Amino acid sequence: MSEASPSLGPLVCVVGARPNYMKMAPLLRAFASRGGLPKTMLIHTGQHYDLAMNERLFTDLQLPPPDLNLEVGSGTHAVQTAEVMRRFEPVVDDVKPACVIVVGDVNSTLACSLVASKKRISIVHVEAGLRSFDREMPEEINRLLTDQLADILYTTERDASVNLAREGIDASRVRFVGNVMIDSLLAHKARAVPVATTVARAGFDPAVVEGAAGFGVVTLHRPSNVDDPASFGEAVAVLVDVAQRIPLVWPVHPRARSNIDRFGLAATLRDAAITLLEPQGYLEMLGLMATARVVMTDSGGIQEETTALAVPCLTMRENTERPITVVQGTNTLVGRNRKRVRDCIDDIVRTGGKRGRVPELWDGKTAERIAIDLERWVAARTSAPERRVA
């Protein structure tokens, strides 16, 4: 745990899966620098556990090791969520948190929020109010429910407040503070690993990324793209098309990796100019994205990171919970539509593609704003302990 302070219990900070780590790292640093905040306690649910999906990211992001790992591992959504809840409840009983701080939209985010809410412990949700309006996405359910339960909701873009107001969430609970993910990006950009190094370390010839056409980066892991053989086949066909013009590098998520093998897609990929890598560390991913001509993804965070890096992003989904990246940033929704992708690649080859601008308050100082705001909240609570809400 970090350095101590007032009489309240700790700020219990929860991470579970890869996209949580880059959001929590700047928050922990900012909390540690504010004397008016209670100590922090970092809890890892263990949703992600592989070295490549987990420890490497902790090291890259200079995250302290968790104070506690609940080691829930994989399972169906119900099993995973229930297991996090079962293991998190006694921790809450034991440490009596001042509040529980959750980030993003993974199963661990919702599970810990449910436990805290039943215990009447205040919940702080960082990255609140994003909506894809697509309930096929497990993350959309996690977002909707976590926001209903949260007492303080920190948002990354102004439209998020509109979504929350529509769902009956009082504006007094919502604060527009910017994007903590971009805090991490700006803090670590200078340490990004050069792409040739990443490719060579994986045993490939760096020439694959050093040709005149440059290179593109792929990440795919959404169930809607990789869990169904026909959909994954379509996605791969799109990538093969693109690779004829721009060679691609693809760090493959475990979910996609096992389905490439199961659906017999390995040979098609091998024959195309598509280099498959293991999941990469944060600094390797930054290096890949920052120097790519195009990034093709279904990740939420990467839509934001490419916007901040001014690199064109083709999102292989029909919707996004991050519309600001389309309206202001470099993102274009292309789904698995070959014609749409071809048009975008034409534009990228001809003009460099969409450049966009960096959205308001994506300035590297979001965690600091959150820490200052929480310090005020703690001060108000210490003087009026019976009041629970913001």
* Residues with catalytic roles: 221
Nearer to ligand UD1, 47 or 307 (CB): 47
- Cα–Cα distance for residue pair 147/149, rounded to 1 Å: 5
CB of 37 to ligand UD1, least distance (A): 28
Nearer to ligand UD1, 219 or 307 (CB): 219
- Exactly one of 139, 284, 304, 321 binds ligand UD1 (CB under 6 A); that residue is 139
Tokens of 336: 């698995």
Question: Helices 18-32 and 180-188 sit at what angle, rounded to 10 degrees?
Answer: 80
218 phi/psi in degrees, rounded to 5: -120, 140
Nearer to ligand UD1, 56 or 188 (CB): 56
Nearer to ligand UD1, 228 or 347 (CB): 228
CB of 28 to ligand UD1, least distance (A): 20
**Using CB under 6 A as the criterion, what x/- string covers residues 224-263 for binding ligand UD1?**
-----------------------------xxx--------
**Using CB under 6 A as the criterion, what x/- string covers residues 67-86 for binding ligand UD1?**
-------x------------
- Exactly one of 10, 19, 97, 356 binds ligand UD1 (CB under 6 A); that residue is 19
Stretch that binds ligand UD1, among 43-51, 83-91, 259-267, 358-366 (CB under 6 A): 43-51
Stretch that binds ligand UD1, among 37-45, 46-54, 286-294, 345-353 (CB under 6 A): 46-54
Nearer to ligand UD1, 244 or 258 (CB): 258
Q: Do 173 and 389 form a contact (C-beta atoms < 8 A)? A: yes
Q: Do 103 and 126 form a contact (C-beta atoms < 8 A)? A: yes
53 lies in the binding site for ligand UD1 (CB under 6 A):
yes
CB of 359 to ligand UD1, least distance (A): 21
CB of 123 to ligand UD1, least distance (A): 17
Indicate the DSSP class of residue 174.
E
What are the E-state strand segments in the chain?
11-15, 40-44, 68-69, 99-103, 122-128, 152-155, 174-176, 216-219, 248-251, 274-277, 294-297, 313-315, 331-333
Nearer to ligand UD1, 301 or 353 (CB): 301
Q: Which amino acid is at 348?
A: I
**Number of amino acids touching ligand UD1 (CB under 6 A):** 19
> What's the order of all strands across the beta sheet hosting 294-297?
274-277, 248-251, 216-219, 294-297, 313-315, 331-333
- Exactly one of 11, 13, 15, 17 binds ligand UD1 (CB under 6 A); that residue is 17
48 lies in the binding site for ligand UD1 (CB under 6 A):
yes
CB of 134 to ligand UD1, least distance (A): 13
CB of 213 to ligand UD1, least distance (A): 29
CB of 311 to ligand UD1, least distance (A): 19
Tokens of 289: 């994205």
138 lies in the binding site for ligand UD1 (CB under 6 A):
yes
Q: Which amino acid is at 228?
A: D
- Cα–Cα distance for residue pair 257/280, rounded to 1 Å: 13
Contacts of 126 (CB under 8 A, 6+ apart): 23, 27, 101, 102, 103, 104, 154, 180, 370
Question: Which DSSP helix (H) or strand (E) runs through 60?
Answer: helix 55-60
**Using CB under 6 A as the criterion, what x/- string covers residues 87-126 for binding ligand UD1?**
------------------xxx-------------------
Q: Do 143 and 106 form a contact (C-beta atoms < 8 A)? A: no
Nearer to ligand UD1, 62 or 74 (CB): 74
50 lies in the binding site for ligand UD1 (CB under 6 A):
yes
Q: Label residue 297 left, alpha or beta by phi (over 0 means left) and psi (-120 to 50 means alpha).
A: beta
Counted residue by residue, the chain has a size of 390
221 lies in the binding site for ligand UD1 (CB under 6 A):
yes
DSSP assignment of 219-284 equals E---HHHHSSHHHHHHHHHHHHHHHTTS-EEEEPPHHHHHHHHHTT-HHHHHHTTEEEEPPPPHHH
CB of 54 to ligand UD1, least distance (A): 6
Where along the sequence are the contacts to ligand UD1 (CB under 6 A)?
17-19, 47-50, 53-54, 74, 105-107, 138-139, 221, 253-255
